[in-house]
Structure 1
Amino acid sequence: MQGFVRVGERPEIAQLPLFREMDDAKRERVFAGSFLQVFPPQLTLFELGQHADFLHVLVDGVVELSATSGGRETTMRIVEPVTSFILAAVVNDLPYLMTARTLEPSRILLVPAALIREVIRQDTALMQATMHELALAYRDLVRALVDMKLRQSAERLGNYLLQQDFRQSAKGVVQLKAEKRVLASLLGMTPENLSRAFSMLSAHGVRVEGSTISIIDRDALNAFARPDPIPV
């Protein structure tokens, strides 16, 4: 693990969307009190119900956000770089509503919550960037709810693959960022249902080779999955 953000790391971190437009002096104040750490896979970063002591910004790696109720657990989001996660809890000084766990080695910037709240009040650019990230998170939530309510399981999987293709390269090859059991939970399925959904998609232009998914007939998949009319 690393301690405070080193001088050589600061130019890279300064270019992250949340900090890019900030006043230089206020940005340096944030960095002086923050930590850039490398975490191993399968490490719990925080748990549901814990008070939000830090803002987490994922620089490299993959993080799973999950929720539990009545002894059941479900994946709520798979976080990929570069973004903060559970920003709302930090801004509102409230407990986390989800548990965060690394899925692969991950480099994460930890900013003390009290510090980020203080600087948000002082720096207009940071305030605007915070509003932007919160708005994107809200839109992602709406998309997820629409997906769950209006699509069957295989259609949800097809739509997810089209979204990932758009985000990764738009070249028709998707690399899954998490184990299939985590993906199944994210999409509201059992692992068995996910396997059946992949089999069904083979008739609609999808080929599966381990964690590599190829979209070999985009028109067929679009017709089946009915992707969102508004791009991601």
Structure 2
Amino acid sequence: MRESEKEIVRSLPLFSGMAPDHFEIMLKGSFLQKFPATVVLFSEQDHTDFLHVLVDGQVELFANANNREGTMTLIKPVATFVLASALADGAYQLSARTLQTSQILMIPAENIREVMALDSDFAQKTIVELAECYHGVVRAYKNIKLRTAVERLANYLLVQNRRQGDNDGLVLPVEKRTLASMLGMTPENLSRAFNTLKPYGVVIDGAEISLNNLSDLETLAKPSAHIDAN
């Protein structure tokens, strides 16, 4: 690996405090690969051979059952994914595919397990990262169980507006089909939910969304710090 690529990995909180010799052990046999959009990186129930680090692009984690598919979450750079599966030396619990051209660092899972036994800082930060992932799962579950489809969409728009600069509008970062799946809806239900939000100042122009009455939208959405991501 090039030094510039190692620095990207080092920038992640999970690896920032790792001892230099342990860092080199972890990266042995690792490689950075570029994937085009829509490539399936792995499928659920495949054996976990690598910890993945998304350096650039976007990745969708999804699951299948009974001929149905659901988006579980989206990964943005720079971030690791499937850490729990890599540590457990078991099967992937989700499938993954690229949503756009993506650069992904593949770290052998056995290296992760070896270094966790050697490096106390890495072990502690691994526990923290797994705890944060657990909290994310709880928030997502509460979002699905405690809100209507319209409320889920309204809160998603408010979160994206905040992330994109609080400019009373946003650009959807994913296709509407993917958004619908992520919010636990069919594409048809998503379309109906958008129509329901029109009286609350939501104007749709393709992927561009204008929020012309944030106060009314927030009253409907009832955002919660215990559910919504930053």
Q: What's the TM-score, normalizing by structure 1?
A: 0.91
Which among 208, 212, 219 is matched to residue 215 of structure 2? 219
Structure 2 counterpart of 1:182, from 157, 165, 178: 178
Q: Are residues 1:121 and 2:120 paired?
A: no
Residue of structure 2 in register with 1:192 after alignment: 188
**Aligned pair in 2 of structure 1 residues 207, 111: CA closer, same or farther (>3 Å)?**
same
RMSD: 1.7
- The separation in 1 between residues aligned to 2:128 and 2:139, in whole angstroms, is 17
Tell me the residue number matched to 2:139.
143
Separation in 2, partners of 1:167, 1:128: 29
Is this contact kept in 2: 1:62–1:177, CA < 8 A?
no
Q: Bigger shift: 208-217 or 130-139?
A: 208-217
Task: Specify the code of the residue in structure 2 equivalent to 1:71.
Answer: N
3-state DSSP of counterpart to 2:170: strand
Report deviation, 1:109.
1.1
Matches within 5 A, 1:38-187: 38-187=34-183
Look up the equivalent residue of 1:37 and give its one-letter code: Q
Deviation at 1:220, TM superposition (A): 1.5
Q: Which residue of 2 aligns with 1:210?
A: 206
The SS at the match of 2:4 is helix
Give the structure 2 partner of residue 19 of structure 1: 15
Counterpart contact for 2:8–2:55, Cα < 8 Å: no
Contact 1:56 1:108 (8 Å CA) reproduced: yes
Deviation readout 1:144-180 (Å, 9 max, x if unpaired): 1111111111111111122233444344433322211
Tell me the SS of whatever aligns to 2:62. Answer: strand
Deviates more, 1:193-202 or 1:43-52: 193-202
Measured at CA, do residues 139 and 172 of structure 1 come closer, stay the same or move farther in structure 2, by a change above 3 Å?
A: farther
- TM-score in terms of structure 2 length: 0.92
Identity %: 46
Name the stretch that deviates more: 205-214 or 53-62. 205-214
Shift of the 81–216 alpha-carbon distance from structure 1 to 2, 3 Å rule, reads farther
Q: Where does structure 1 lack aligned partners over 5 or more consecutive residues?
A: none
Aligned length: 228
